[in-house]
Amino acid sequence: MTETSAYSRLEAIFRKAATIGEALSVLHWDMAAMMPDGGAEARAEQLAALKGIVHETITAPEVADLLAAAEAEPTDPWESANLREMRRDWVHASSLPADLVAALARAESTCEMIWRQARPAGDFAQVLPSLSELLARVRDVGGIKAERLGLAVYDALLDQYEPDGRAADIDPVFDHLDSFLPGFIGDVLEAQARRPVPLAPPGPFPADRQKALGLRMMAVLGFDFRHGRLDVSHHPFCGGYPADTRITTRYDEDDFASALMGVLHETGHALYEFGLPGGRWRSQPVGRARGMVMHESQSLLMEMQACRSRDFMMFAAPTIRQTFGAEGPAWEADNLFRRSIGVERGFIRVEADEVTYPAHVIIRYRLEKALIQGDMKPADLPAAWNEGYARLLGISPPDHRLGCLQDIHWYGGSWGYFPTYTLGAMTAAQLFDAATGAVPDILPGIGRGDFSPLLAWLRTNVHGKGSLLSTRELITAATGRPLDPAVFERHLRQRYLG
């Protein structure tokens, strides 16, 4: 392509938008990990202004004509895929007036900061007004995009996180899980009760030692500390951008495993970011991760498939013992492994085992769909949340901190995100099954603390593809078939009832 071609001019426009987006990512990370509460109002304005610039850049009057002209030019497969993703971005962005983009950004920042105060207090009433305002803006956005895309409002919001994701495809999968999970959870708990109860390693576990352990295991998985770091936040997440990837966790001095597994989970996200296409594609839409189903698959593949395996715990146990200066039966690899796959009907999604985890997601998916569609009011959320937990998991949260206030997503503006977690868990199982089948040294390597065979397979089959392919095409190319829930269920049966 010549520098004056329509396609090349588009690359320059989207490069500018991506660069500003990288700055936004670091500001979001800072707001969650470092910023004092007093900076919230100013930060909201900063984020709104920068998002406005990104919006103006992508929706500039010439972009529509450039897209049409570029689509008539000869392009190679990567350029064609980049154009497809550019048009997707443009359609989403050009659907919205600039004042709504700014209003949404302010509502998101305001609601998130109030949630940070309301969550530890378990005070849903405190955040309800700002949540209602934010939901109204989200529904405004969803309504406009739905009309432009020819989709239902929820699907238009879901499409922002999972391109081409549709509730009509998700509902039957989740309905099947809904019928499978309660009985399977009961079977697993009965089988677990027949085995000796794993010993609990005695604490406390100082946060500084937990951090040292997390950093050590991040390095084992392949985290690049020249281009990333580990910090603390209210809610664990992976932020920044590929050249500067920030992950966070939170520490409980009574339970080292919670933070450790959280770190391993977020490291999976970071490894995906590190492995995305570089060079020319780094700042282009085609160079981004392929939606949140694939992103969640990478975190859950590392945490659930690889690091909760017996192979990994055989390697990790000596380091865990050394970190905490401990000895005894509770610190042996087999005991730590059995604790790492323990199943419990718990309240907290991010601490849930992989058997009960899909139930947490199904509940949230159905609630956010009802709120977006106007079938439920925000004030009714706590009662509906508790009812969902009672039906699907047989428990009821004692307070809102352990209930509808626990996740940042809705209060930060991420509506339509939740189904990607369980779809990601299914994808993780299928990718790991394909990887270990293709490369026999992956599991022995994990047992030696060598993740390079697994990472090499992921770099080739997932990370390095960026957004070249659709999610369905990417899964099919990597595993030989589209997403098949039976692989996930087989994994659960083998690990927990085998």
Q: Count each helix (H run) and each strand (E run) in the chain, helices first.
A: 21, 3
**List 11, 79, 112, 266, catalytic entry:** 266
| Calpha distance 272→58 (Å, rounded) | 26
Retrieve residue 390's tokens. 């009672």
Provide the CB-side half-sphere exposure for 264 (13 A, CA). Answer: 28
Contacts 24+ apart (CB under 8 A), 73-78: 73/1, 73/5, 73/6, 73/7, 75/1, 75/7, 77/468, 78/281, 78/286, 78/468
Asked whether 283 and 14 are in contact (CB, 8 A), the reply is yes
Residue pair 476/482 in contact (Cβ under 8 Å)? The answer is yes
Q: What Å distances lie between residue 413 and 188, 369, 401, 426, 446, CA to CA?
A: 36, 14, 19, 25, 37
Residue 266 annotated among the catalytic residues of the structure: yes
Whole-number Å distance between alpha carbons of 30 and 23:
11
CA-based radius of gyration for the chain: 22
CA distances to 38, 145, 333 from 294, in Å: 36, 23, 31
What are the residues whose beta carbons fall under 8 Å from the beta carbon of 433, sequence distance 6 or more? 479, 487, 491
Order of all β-strands in the sheet with 238-241: 228-232, 244-249, 238-241
Helix (H) or strand (E) segment spanning residue 43? helix 40-58
> Which residues on adjacent β-strands are paired with residue 249?
232
Q: Whole-angstrom Cα distance, residue 443 to residue 312?
A: 8
Would you please indicate which residues are annotated as catalytic (active-site) residues? 266
